[in-house]
Structure 1
Amino acid sequence: MRSLPQPPGTPDHRSPDRFLFWLARRSWPSLAWAGLVNGGYWTCVILVSAALGAAVDAGFTDGDTSTLTRWFGVLAALALTAAALVVLGHRANCFNWYTSAYRTVQVVTERSVRLGPTLTRRLPSGEVVAVGTDDINRVGDLYESSSSLPGSVISIAVISTLMLASHVTLGLVVLVSVPLMLVGMVPLLRVFSRLQEHHRDRQAELTTRSTDLVAGLRVLRGVGGERTVGERYTAESQRVRAAGVRVGWADAALQSVRELLPGLLLVGIVWYGARLALSEEISVGQLVAFYGYTGGLATAVRGLMRAASAYVSARVAASRVVRVLRLAHDHPDPEFPAAEPAGPCDLHDPASGVTITAQRTTGVVCPDPTDATAVAERLGRYRDSTAPTTGTDPGLTDPESHTALANGTAPGDNPHSEGSTDLGANTNLGNSTGPEGTTLPESCSGPGGNVSPESSTGLDGHTGSGNGTGPGGSRERENDSDADAVLVERATNRAVRLRDLPRDRVRERILVATNSAHLFSGRLRDELSPDSGLSDDGLARAVRAANADDIVRQSPAGFDAVLTERGREYSGGQQQRLRLARALALDPEILVLVEPASAVDAHSEAAIAEALPVERAGRTTALVTTSPLLLDRTDHVQFVERGRVVAQGTHRELLAAVPGYAETVLRTVTTGGNR
């Protein structure tokens, strides 16, 4: 019994044909074995016809009973051998289907995980779904039927040899007619390929429409747009059906040709053989053998035609697979990675002026949710300074950051020393000094450029010494690379841009957890600790910190309870607490939590606010939130307006001194400083 899945290897994605050839090379021993078995089976079938013809001549023409008995023994042996080869051939064909289809699944899944949100930004969701459902079946079908190719070639060679030995004319007819029949199929195969590709495109578009429809069903009901969208879906569905019907007609034509041409050859050879038998140029036994040869020849030709049809379908599917494999990540790894800074490190975002201080809990408050998304994306390198800005949240749904955290491996160093710097009302992120006295060098050289110091901002909301400061504190930069987030090594003040580090290392050290993170189906234990590295005590501690212990208790199975996809059996608040517990259980060096308690009740929010600083004591944590309960437990808060830090200090200091902050956090309108 072979162990599956096998290591997939590195796919050749230069073209669909090269990808299919790569799959064949990876599975050549099993493909060769299947072809050999299939060829052996058809050789036995053909030899049965030869033995039957010899038995007819021996028993009925010559009247030799002993010879007839021997030929019956040969027939029995050939039949038993063919029966055994059927079992072996079926097993080999199934193995070839599984290895090719699931190797395709492996490489596509691996590439999809590596691409993260890049995949759904570059390809429609329906295209991705179709690759994982329909296309792998097409690829598998090709290699399942591939054994018919060598089997058919062997059959045709054996039949031609036997016919040439018996009658030269019949042998030449076979040698000439088979290539002509295959060439006659080429125009139909081209039409079939074109129609199937068109149908595949329409099918992917319809799948995209259906996924969007399901995702936005509540919104559609709210605005009364169900009928309009339903009519559009119906129209697109009819176009897909019409395209499928055209593919069906082409496939039916191919099947008709597969039956017609070999059938005509069979009729012609039997008719000509009967005339030869009547003129006594061949014996009755030879006529019987020729009839059997022709039947086997017709089956062999059909096998070649089926293999050609399977290749056309697989090539269309492989073109979609290659399209996924060719995609480049929006945030590629650097060609020459920088030396990784040793922890503890501050995390600094020059574009906004936000600094997440090492070993402390920092709050980031943004009145505009778009600013909160942009800051969190840059802090986790889900958005580079040169990346196009959109109004969506493309980066924070990356499965790399929310679940696996680089295949579930725990981050590197997680210092637990308590920070003790006092944050006063006048703490600045200014010229060369960051929060809590962290010094940012005037020109911190990274491999890809320099990190410029940010402007000073105090509690009055006015910027200090920022050159070229425009409205709202934003400013134009001569070099976009200066806006990339950096890790600042506290021991040496060395700053390294995140884009100059390998992406895997960034994902291991910095975890950005949002409410769009996916909850996967499976055991709760595996969801909270993907690498199974945490004991039950560790899981319980993370669950308590997220105030999710009641969720675990509600099932008798505890941590072995099975979640459905996306955790649909739980409410929105329960799902949010499970996401928070998973993020805490992963215990990254730097944790960026985006509104971790926005969907829970006031009691749970208060419990989370109390437990979170204790759980993350001595580690670097950022809370991008407007929750006053959470902010009151932070060591330092930075207030971001129009994309820039305009004030910072403790939560209570900002409440008293910055009206805009109070309005944002308390959801009230201030007048003359009174709430």
Structure 2
Amino acid sequence: MARGTVLMGMYQAGETAFPIALGLIVEHTMRDRSPGSLALAITALAVISTTVSLSWRFGMRVLQKANTTEAHRWRVRVAACGLQPVAGGSGLKSGEVLTVATDDADQTADLIEVVPLLISSLVAVAITAVALGMASVPLGVLVVVGTAAILSVLSVLSKRIDTGTREQQARVARAGAKVADLITGLRPLHGFGGNHAAFASYRTVSSAARDQAVGVARVSGAYAGTAQALNAALAATVTLTAGWLAFEGRIGIGELVMAVGLAQFIMEPLKLCANMPKYVMVARASAERMALVLTAPPAEPPAAEPLAAGGGLALDAIRYGSLRDLSFQVQAGEFAAVVARQPAAAADLVALLSASVPDDAYDGTVRLDGKSTADLPVGAIRAHMLVNPANAEIFAGTLRTNIDPSGTSRAIPEAVEASLLTDVVALHRDGLDHPVRDRGANLSGGQRQRLSLARALAADAEILVLHNPTTAVDAVTEQLIARNLAALRRGRTTVVITTSPALLDAADRVLVVDGGTVVAAGTHRNLVAGDEGYRASVTR
């Protein structure tokens, strides 16, 4: 910014020097019309033109590089914060965070370029005032007073733009969030015919954003018109005043030429100064929205000792959502299954184990290897226990990058075989490098689910929690996956939340949750034989 400000100041000084030089040349030429004077005048104008050209070229290069670099830094910071768990949340949906990480980051970084341009414009106004003041004090005072009056009037008008701009950006972000939600749920929306209603809801949100944008544009147009009129009035006043002073013989012809040239030139810096409040308001509104993401407190308690390899999982008197005094323990190396007769209980259990629920939002204790998760950093919990939700995301890339996003897994072949993703790999010439579209659009539902399962298995977590990992596959495939899963995870702690008979039969122990608490436990076959309610829940 400093380098750009200096260079743009030189540019504006050069632009201002041009009409001053013309005035001096005219004044000097009237006294001395020699070839030497002509050569000196041409040289002076060439130096000024070169200074203007080079300072603009390199000044804008420096400022735009700084602008884009700063925008990149903000985008990365917002994205990093958006991907980290927070204690209270920012109050923004994922689609809004996307807008913050793109548009708002760019608009905030625009100040890197705008502020030096403002300073250089004020330099031009100052030089103009001094030059005209040296020719005639009234002209210099007129420029100073006129500039101050214009900026004061525009400062009052800009307050209306400020309020409208903030609301416009918020509404546009909400419309973006609605689009993200609709794209995420496009398949089920088409499935039950809700796409028209969903589109109507988006139209309502988008219309509100449009109306607000039109209102802001109307105010901005009035602001720009007022600014242009005031600038033109000042230029005309300076020109007429200079003509009157020349007519009275108080300034010479050269000074008149200089005054007329500066009056025309000063309109551009004043226009830039007039637009500054608008840029500042937009940038400030964007910065406040970024602050919602950047200042959200991280859900990271004080660091604790790292968890040992292996270890079990225990829940003690958990009360959260539909869970009521839920208590159970999974021993290290055990393959346990949980049957939740109410789907809400399964969803609440998954949210709790995935560390998506703040510690103060539930009662009871969750322990990993005997240590309370409330005393562990979220990163340590997730490094030790991987929770794979039923609706796990599939990302644009390849099969390989979806299975092993970090590129560090050594268990990819075993994970592919255990999840029966082998047929998908063999079906394509590129194998694991076969392209995958955004959200797995070129894969079937079963293929996406098996790809998600392969990713969970390739992570080789100490404790693995799976939620309905086989709901989209056929019974034969499900039976083979259950067998492979039990074999691959032998000796590692595994919890599967499911009602699949194949997975339940492969588990060492089944826990039945009803009414938010464990009501039965045992092997799948014993429960089928002795518990009619369980048999009705899981048999197909």
Matches within 5 A, 1:588-607: 588-607=461-480
Question: Which residue matches 2:323?
Answer: none
Deviation of 1:554 after TM superposition, in Å, equals 3.1
Deviation of 1:387 after TM superposition, in Å, equals 1.3
Matches within 5 A, 1:421-460: none
Within 1, Cα distance between the matches of 2:475 and 2:86? 34
Within 1, Cα distance between the matches of 2:222 and 2:161? 9
Within 1, Cα distance between the matches of 2:80 and 2:93? 18
Q: Secondary structure at the match of 2:416?
A: helix
Question: Which residue matches 2:49?
Answer: 79
Question: Which residue matches 1:92?
Answer: 62
Question: Which residue matches 1:138?
Answer: 107
Q: Structure 1 residue 486 and structure 2 residue 460: aligned? A: no
Question: Which residue matches 1:355?
Answer: 329
Deviations along 1:248-283, one digit per CA (max 9) or x if unpaired, are 111112211232222111111111112222333322
Deviations along 1:130-176, one digit per CA (max 9) or x if unpaired, are 32343223213332322212211221222222222222221121122
Deviations along 1:452-482, one digit per CA (max 9) or x if unpaired, are xxxxxxxxxxxxxxxxxxxxxxxxxxxx3xx
Return 647-656 or 126-135, whichever deviates more.
126-135
Return 224-233 or 501-510, whichever deviates more.
224-233
Question: Which residue matches 2:242?
Answer: 273
Q: 1:526 aligns with which of 381, 384, 401?
A: 401
Deviation of 1:600 after TM superposition, in Å, equals 1.2
Q: Secondary structure at the match of 2:312?
A: strand
Deviation of 1:497 after TM superposition, in Å, equals 0.8
Question: Which residue matches 1:175?
Answer: 144
Matches within 5 A, 1:606-617: 606-617=479-490
Q: Secondary structure at the match of 1:485?
A: strand
Residue 548 of structure 1 contacts residue 577 of structure 1 at CA under 8 Å; is this kept in 2?
Answer: yes
Q: Secondary structure at the match of 1:353?
A: strand
Question: Which residue matches 1:631?
Answer: 504
Deviations along 1:491-519, one digit per CA (max 9) or x if unpaired, are xxxx3211111111011101100122222
Question: Which residue matches 1:38?
Answer: 8
Q: Does the C-alpha gap of structure 1 residues 261 and 555 become closer, same or farther in structure 2, counting only changes over 3 Å?
A: farther
Q: Does the C-alpha gap of structure 1 residues 155 and 131 become closer, same or farther in structure 2, counting only changes over 3 Å?
A: same
Deviation of 1:220 after TM superposition, in Å, equals 5.4
Q: Secondary structure at the match of 1:348?
A: strand
Residue 142 of structure 1 contacts residue 307 of structure 1 at CA under 8 Å; is this kept in 2?
Answer: no
Q: Secondary structure at the match of 1:534?
A: coil
Question: Which residue matches 2:380?
Answer: 505
Residue 510 of structure 1 contacts residue 589 of structure 1 at CA under 8 Å; is this kept in 2?
Answer: yes
RMSD: 2.4
Within 2, Cα distance between the matches of 1:254 and 1:497? 59
Within 1, Cα distance between the matches of 2:258 and 2:312? 85
Within 2, Cα distance between the matches of 1:607 and 1:663? 23
Deviation of 1:347 after TM superposition, in Å, equals 0.5
Q: Secondary structure at the match of 1:111?
A: helix
Question: Which residue matches 2:321?
Answer: none
Return the TM-score normalized by structure 1.
0.74
Question: Which residue matches 1:333?
Answer: 300
Within 2, Cα distance between the matches of 1:326 and 1:384? 17
Residue 655 of structure 1 contacts residue 662 of structure 1 at CA under 8 Å; is this kept in 2?
Answer: yes
Within 2, Cα distance between the matches of 1:213 and 1:580? 25
Matches within 5 A, 1:57-68: 57-68=27-38
One-letter amino acid of the counterpart of residue 638, structure 1: L
Q: Secondary structure at the match of 2:406?
A: coil
Within 2, Cα distance between the matches of 1:124 and 1:632? 40
Q: Secondary structure at the match of 2:55?
A: helix
Residue 86 of structure 2 contacts residue 297 of structure 2 at CA under 8 Å; is this kept in 1?
Answer: no
Question: Which residue matches 2:312?
Answer: 346
Q: 1:261 aligns with which of 221, 230, 237?
A: 230
One-letter amino acid of the counterpart of residue 313, structure 2: L
Matches within 5 A, 1:216-615: 216=185, 230-329=199-298, 332-335=299-302, 337-350=303-316, 351=318, 352-383=326-357, 386-387=360-361, 480=363, 483-488=364-369, 495-534=370-409, 538-615=411-488
Q: Does the C-alpha gap of structure 1 residues 229 and 371 become closer, same or farther in structure 2, counting only changes over 3 Å?
A: closer
Deviation of 1:61 after TM superposition, in Å, equals 5.0
Residue 359 of structure 2 contacts residue 374 of structure 2 at CA under 8 Å; is this kept in 1?
Answer: no
Q: Which runs of 4+ in 1 moved over 6 A?
A: none
> Which sections of structure 1, spanning at least 5 residues, go unmatched?
1-30, 389-479, 489-494, 668-675
Q: Secondary structure at the match of 2:110?
A: helix
Residue 396 of structure 2 contacts residue 438 of structure 2 at CA under 8 Å; is this kept in 1?
Answer: yes
Residue 239 of structure 2 contacts residue 259 of structure 2 at CA under 8 Å; is this kept in 1?
Answer: yes
Return the TM-score normalized by structure 2.
0.92
Within 2, Cα distance between the matches of 1:629 and 1:593? 14
Within 1, Cα distance between the matches of 2:188 and 2:264? 62
Q: Structure 1 residue 160 and structure 2 residue 35: aligned? A: no
Q: Secondary structure at the match of 1:511?
A: strand
Deviations along 1:430-453, one digit per CA (max 9) or x if unpaired, are xxxxxxxxxxxxxxxxxxxxxxxx
Within 2, Cα distance between the matches of 1:550 and 1:218? 24
Within 2, Cα distance between the matches of 1:384 and 1:484? 12
Within 2, Cα distance between the matches of 1:524 and 1:102? 29
Deviation of 1:88 after TM superposition, in Å, equals 1.1
Deviation of 1:576 after TM superposition, in Å, equals 0.7
Residue 311 of structure 2 contacts residue 462 of structure 2 at CA under 8 Å; is this kept in 1?
Answer: no
One-letter amino acid of the counterpart of residue 474, structure 2: D
Q: Structure 1 residue 102 and structure 2 residue 84: aligned? A: no
Question: Which residue matches 1:70?
Answer: 40
Within 1, Cα distance between the matches of 2:180 and 2:164? 25
Q: Does the C-alpha gap of structure 1 residues 153 and 344 become closer, same or farther in structure 2, counting only changes over 3 Å?
A: same
Return 621-630 or 601-610, whichever deviates more.
601-610
Q: 2:81 aligns with which of 92, 111, 114?
A: 111
Residue 350 of structure 2 contacts residue 389 of structure 2 at CA under 8 Å; is this kept in 1?
Answer: no
Within 2, Cα distance between the matches of 1:228 and 1:540? 44
Q: Does the C-alpha gap of structure 1 residues 231 and 507 become closer, same or farther in structure 2, counting only changes over 3 Å?
A: closer
Return 632-641 or 177-186, whichever deviates more.
632-641
Within 1, Cα distance between the matches of 2:431 and 2:52? 55
Deviation of 1:302 after TM superposition, in Å, equals 1.6
One-letter amino acid of the counterpart of residue 22, structure 2: L
Residue 315 of structure 2 contacts residue 329 of structure 2 at CA under 8 Å; is this kept in 1?
Answer: yes
Within 2, Cα distance between the matches of 1:89 and 1:562? 43
Question: Which residue matches 1:670?
Answer: none
Deviation of 1:113 after TM superposition, in Å, equals 0.9
One-letter amino acid of the counterpart of residue 13, structure 2: T
Deviation of 1:35 after TM superposition, in Å, equals 1.1
* Number of aligned positions between the proteins: 532
Q: Does the C-alpha gap of structure 1 residues 205 and 554 become closer, same or farther in structure 2, counting only changes over 3 Å?
A: same
